[in-house]
Structure 1
Amino acid sequence: MTESDLSVLRERAENGDATAVDILIELAGERGDMDELRRLADNGSSDAADQLIEVATELGDMNELRRLADNGNITAAEQLMELTEE
C-alpha cells in the first residue's frame, strides 16, 4: 500500500468511514505502527486501542501501556499489572 493510499484511507476515516478505520487498524497492527494506532485510539477507536495494547505488549513498551492506563484504559492497566508481576 502506497503512502497515497494510506492518505486516502486516513481522510475517509476522519470523515467517519468505519471500514477505512478498520483497514488502517489492521495495516498498522501488521506494521507495528504504534503512532497510527495511537492516533486512531485517541480519536475514539476502541479497536485501535486494543490493537495498540497488543503491539505495546509484544514490544514490551511499558510507557505506552502506562500512558493508556493513566488515561483510563482498564485493559492496558491489567496488561501492565500482568507484565510487572512476572
Structure 2
Amino acid sequence: MKEVKVISAVNCANCEALFQLVKDAVKNFGLNAKVEKVVDFKEVAKCGVLTTPILVVDGKVKHAGKPLPTLDQLKELIEE
C-alpha cells in the first residue's frame, strides 16, 4: 500500500483542492493507497520545498506548488 501525504500550510485553498483531487484519484482508479493531509510547517520544511501544496508518496516529494496535477497525472505520480 502506498502512503500518500498532502502537506499543506494553514488555510491553503490549493492544498485542500489537491487533497480532494488525491482522494478522487485513489477512489476513481482503485489505487491501493492511504491518503493523509498534514498541516504542519515543520513537515513543509522537512521536504526542502517552500511551495505548497506538497505531494509526498512513500516519503518522496512528487509534486509541489501550482498548477495542480490532473487526476491522470496523480495516478501516475502515485503509481511510480
Q: TM-score range by the shorter chain?
A: under 0.3
Q: Give the number of the structure with larger relative contact order, counting CA–CA contacts within 8 Å between residues 6 or more apart.
A: 2
TM-score relative to the length of structure 1: 0.23
Structure number with larger C-alpha Rg: 1
TM-score relative to the length of structure 2: 0.25
